[in-house]
A and B are shown apart, each in its own frame.
Chain A
Amino acid sequence: MIFNKIIEILKSKTRNKIRIKNNFKKIEKKRSDKLYAIDGGNCLIMDGGTWYLSKIRISCVTYDNGKKIYNKKETETIVLVHNEGLRNNKKTVIAEELNLPEFDFKKIKFEEIIGYVRKYLELKTGLKKLKEMKNGETLLIDGLLACELEENKKIVKKMIEIAQKNKINLVGFAKTTRMLKNGRNYLSIVKNTGDELGLKKWVYALNENEALVKLNENSNRVFRIQYFGDLKNISEILCFYSRDKSILGYPYPLLKADLTARISRREAKSEKNRTILFLKKMGLKEVEQDLLSQDLHKKLDEIAYK
């Protein structure tokens, strides 16, 4: 019964063919110019209810002419997120040796704060790299450039200024996109239309600084990018770097940056044990019991995955 209903809904959604503007540009060349890719990873170490400890790692990789010339963990830090009081809703973030601004987290969910801090650190790393970069080079950041948080917006603004001044391509690359048109996935509509037109690699401009891209003829993946710079150049460079056989159609340097930044479950566990030991040493034995009483999900997950 339920499936009949699903089929009925889906049929109604796909019944009408959605027409889109022909904004397609075929990507005909590949450029192997220097490309910087930045990504971050984070994990939860401890959740104390009104506070949690997380680890964030930001990495940057650089490729030139297809060869890796730089691969480094740029930032690695433990972050404490603290809800000072439920009445005043004041949430603070403390990270050792990082000069973090006073964020305004009022509208942001407590558990999502760490994601915003990570984005902030990614953008800060991007800004630092942009200052080192030269004309014609490309900076690729995981995720779109549009930000909710005021502090992040400020950094993006600075980044755009430097990129435009020095003629550097600045690209935000979204791994996941939820764009709908008439209740349907817009990326899929654009992809199907591209296929109908017989296009194999293309760029589809959404607006002045936004586009959808399909970067490899043997891949079905379409991504959304936000960019500042020459779209033709950008698409040709992305196209060159999206030919890795393990992940056709996705820029390999971003994968490499992700792998470098990623914090494994094992590493998170080790950080947790280290922290518990430290807290015990400092006379805070109750913390371990607090943590044990809160959440059994992780333990169940571990058992299930063995």
Chain B
Amino acid sequence: MNAENNVVGQIISGNVSKIFIRIKNNSEVDVGDILICEEKNAKYYIKIIDLNISSQLENQFIEEIAGNNLEYEEDSMLFDEKDRFYKIGCGKILKIQTLGFHPPRNLPKHFSKVRRVKEKDFEFLKENKGVEIGNLRLGMKSLENIKVKLPSNELVSHHMLVVAATGRGKSNFAKVFIKGLMEIPEVSSIIIDPHGEYYGGRGIIGLSHHPNRKNLRFFTPRFTEYPESEELRIHAQDLEPNDFFGIVDLSGAQKEAMQLFYRKFKEEWLSNMLKMDIQSLEKMSEGRVMRSTIFTLKRKLNNSLELNDGEGIVFSLKKREGTSIFSKIQKAVCEGNIIIIDTNLVGDEAEKIISSSITTRIFNYYRKEKQANPKRFNTLPELLIVFEEAPRVLGIDALAKGTNIFERITREGRKFKVGVCAITQMPSLLPKEILSQMNTKVILGLPAPSDREAVINSSTQNISDESVEIQMLDRGEALITSPFLEFPLPVKIHYFNDLIKKSRKEKTMIFGFG
């Protein structure tokens, strides 16, 4: 395709916020397309945000023509149809490239030619080191030879938000991104998996199918079913009252009672509270805790931990033998592993206690290391904590119960190399402060206007004109905004299963020829 054939339009009018392009007939320009307008010293990256049909004729003549079309089928035609009936593209200038990239503070001239992008226009994407997540997408077309990478090292501790309606590919994106992280030793990740879809097996392709899975660790209550997995078992002695605060709905008196028993019994506080009878506990508290408080607290804790005779799917009141699960996970994190925590079999509250207690331990470890041992801290990998259904822990309702570790990480995590990747289909349930802390946003199709508005208003890059595009995003199509990208990038996310198949094929070939 020569340069002239690549031309799809010419600039006709506009300002720095919106620019209008007369589209060449049959050019098939779609909303979401990125086009290039190249002048002597500047290259303008223009994104099509809307399209209009237009004509040189007054409306009344157009109506007359439509009437003629409908009433008289024969003996009529349209001369110069291409000249008289056409499309006008409304675009926004994403960036101007001179020696580097600049925000749009200038405009191309009248009649400057606008062309389709070439591979060369996105060479700057090749300079990005990080995780390849897909191909550049122009409207509905995916450009196979222009790969989009997210700079994982910078991006991880600045938090990510993955938003999409059901079935638009949230989990697929997360898997693709984590697969990429598996190949980067400087980054570690903990994935809280409530739906059992990340590790794989039983007909589901997951991260365990990655040929390079030696740094993948899987903690699950179903450890007997997965040969390479480890048992997810949390002993009561390893839990602290703080692990419940902001997670379980507790009154002030109940929280005080837990603190009191923790001081009294140390690491035996939880098992004693749940094993001992109410009278003994009341006596132990020396009258500072009411009987009814103890009764309610015992019921709540027992329910939250899903215990039956002191044993649950994950939690146990038995004395631990050997290393605690927290130490194991901490070690795995420090070694740059990807850790999947399978919470598929437990209920909502138990899952939150599991994720909260693990996250708290790791975050505190990173904090302590930074203060006590900065050299050691510098060698620690960046850590990304991935969790689905984010409003359950970061939502306005959830935070009404009190602050929790996830909220704390969104505020402070960056300083300690810890970031969160919150996945949700309802970003409007998250508070504005949390949303704006999520510097990188992966948006995969949001039909609800309130959700779109929440994401658009909290983005670091201006995507206010992309509302229609976001609404229309199809399965696997994403718009990514991040301070680490030159401009919001439209991406066709790789399909995880295809990536795995490709990786396995490549590995087989290497061995075959090796």
Partners in one complex: yes
Interface residues of A (CB under 8 A from B): 63, 66, 68, 216-218, 241, 243-246, 248, 252-253, 256
Query: By the criterion CB–CB under 8 Å, are B75 and A246 in contact?
Result: no
With a CB–CB cut-off of 8 A, which chain A residues contact B64?
245-246
Query: By the criterion CB–CB under 8 Å, are B76 and A66 in contact?
Result: no
Known pairs A245-B76, A248-B76 / 18 extra A-B pairs, C-beta < 8 Å: A63-B79, A66-B77, A66-B79, A68-B83, A218-B72, A243-B75, A244-B76, A244-B77, A245-B65, A245-B77, A246-B61, A246-B64, A246-B65, A248-B68, A252-B79, A252-B80, A253-B79, A256-B80
Instruction: Compute how far the CA of A62 lies from the CA of B242 in the bound complex, rounded to whole angstroms.
Output: 86
- Can you spell out 14 A-B residue pairs with CB atoms less than 8 angstroms apart? A66-B77, A68-B80, A218-B71, A218-B75, A243-B76, A244-B76, A244-B77, A245-B65, A245-B68, A245-B78, A246-B57, A246-B78, A248-B68, A248-B75
| Most A CB within 10 A of own CB, among B61, B78, B79, B80 | B79
| Most B CB within 10 A of own CB, among A68, A216, A218, A252 | A218
Q: How far is the CB of B78 from chain A (nearest CB, A)?
A: 6
Instruction: Compute how far the CA of A256 lies from the CA of B78 in the bound complex, rounded to whole angstroms.
Output: 12
Query: By the criterion CB–CB under 8 Å, are B76 and A218 in contact?
Result: yes
Residue of A nearest to B61 (CB): A246
Q: How far is the CB of B372 from chain A (nearest CB, A)?
A: 77
Q: How far is the CB of A286 from chain B (nearest CB, A)?
A: 37
The one of B68, B74, B76, B79 that contacts A68, using a Cβ cutoff of 8 Å: B79
With a CB–CB cut-off of 8 A, which chain B residues contact A217?
74-75
In the complex with contacts A218-B68, A218-B72, A248-B68, A243-B61 CB distance below 8 A: no
Interface residues of B (CB under 8 A from A): 57, 61, 64-65, 68-69, 71-72, 74-80, 83
With a CB–CB cut-off of 8 A, which chain B residues contact A68?
79-80, 83
With a CB–CB cut-off of 8 A, which chain A residues contact B71?
218
Query: By the criterion CB–CB under 8 Å, are A243 and B77 in contact?
Result: yes
Instruction: Compute how far the CA of A217 lies from the CA of B73 in the bound complex, rounded to whole angstroms.
Output: 12
Instruction: Compute how far the CA of A56 lies from the CA of B76 in the bound complex, rounded to whole angstroms.
Output: 33
In the complex with contacts A68-B80, A246-B57, A246-B61, A216-B75 CB distance below 8 A: yes
With a CB–CB cut-off of 8 A, which chain A residues contact B69?
245
Instruction: Compute how far the CA of A218 lies from the CA of B76 in the bound complex, rounded to whole angstroms.
Output: 9
Instruction: Compute how far the CA of A246 lies from the CA of B61 in the bound complex, rounded to whole angstroms.
Output: 6
Query: By the criterion CB–CB under 8 Å, are B79 and A244 in contact?
Result: yes
Instruction: Compute how far the CA of A66 lies from the CA of B71 in the bound complex, rounded to whole angstroms.
Output: 23
Instruction: Compute how far the CA of A217 lies from the CA of B74 in the bound complex, rounded to whole angstroms.
Output: 9
With a CB–CB cut-off of 8 A, which chain A residues contact B72?
218, 248
Instruction: Compute how far the CA of A260 lies from the CA of B437 in the bound complex, rounded to whole angstroms.
Output: 58
Residue of A nearest to B64 (CB): A246
Q: How far is the CB of A238 from chain B (nearest CB, A)?
A: 13
With a CB–CB cut-off of 8 A, which chain A residues contact B77?
66, 243-245
Residue of A nearest to B55 (CB): A246
With a CB–CB cut-off of 8 A, which chain B residues contact A248?
68, 72, 75-76
| Most A CB within 10 A of own CB, among B61, B72, B76, B77 | B76
Instruction: Compute how far the CA of A217 lies from the CA of B76 in the bound complex, rounded to whole angstroms.
Output: 10
With a CB–CB cut-off of 8 A, which chain A residues contact B68?
218, 245, 248
Residue of B nearest to A217 (CB): B75
Residue of A nearest to B65 (CB): A245
Residue of A nearest to B66 (CB): A245
Instruction: Compute how far the CA of A136 lies from the CA of B123 in the bound complex, rounded to whole angstroms.
Output: 57
Shortest Cβ-Cβ A-B pairs, 4 listed: A245-B65, A252-B79, A218-B72, A245-B68
Instruction: Compute how far the CA of A145 lies from the CA of B74 in the bound complex, rounded to whole angstroms.
Output: 32
Q: How far is the CB of B30 from chain A (nearest CB, A)?
A: 28
Q: How far is the CB of B55 from chain A (nearest CB, A)?
A: 10
In the complex with contacts A218-B68, A245-B68, A245-B69, A256-B79 CB distance below 8 A: yes
Q: How far is the CB of B353 from chain A (nearest CB, A)?
A: 71
Instruction: Compute how far the CA of A241 lies from the CA of B83 in the bound complex, rounded to whole angstroms.
Output: 17
| Most A CB within 10 A of own CB, among B69, B72, B80 | B80
Instruction: Compute how far the CA of A256 lies from the CA of B79 in the bound complex, rounded to whole angstroms.
Output: 10
Q: How far is the CB of A31 from chain B (nearest CB, A)?
A: 14
Instruction: Compute how far the CA of A252 lies from the CA of B69 in the bound complex, rounded to whole angstroms.
Output: 17
Instruction: Compute how far the CA of A253 lies from the CA of B83 in the bound complex, rounded to whole angstroms.
Output: 13
Instruction: Compute how far the CA of A252 lies from the CA of B84 in the bound complex, rounded to whole angstroms.
Output: 13
Residue of A nearest to B67 (CB): A245
Residue of B nearest to A259 (CB): B56
With a CB–CB cut-off of 8 A, which chain A residues contact B80?
68, 252, 256
Q: How far is the CB of B74 from chain A (nearest CB, A)?
A: 8
Q: How far is the CB of A251 from chain B (nearest CB, A)?
A: 10
With a CB–CB cut-off of 8 A, which chain B residues contact A252?
79-80
Q: How far is the CB of A22 from chain B (nearest CB, A)?
A: 24
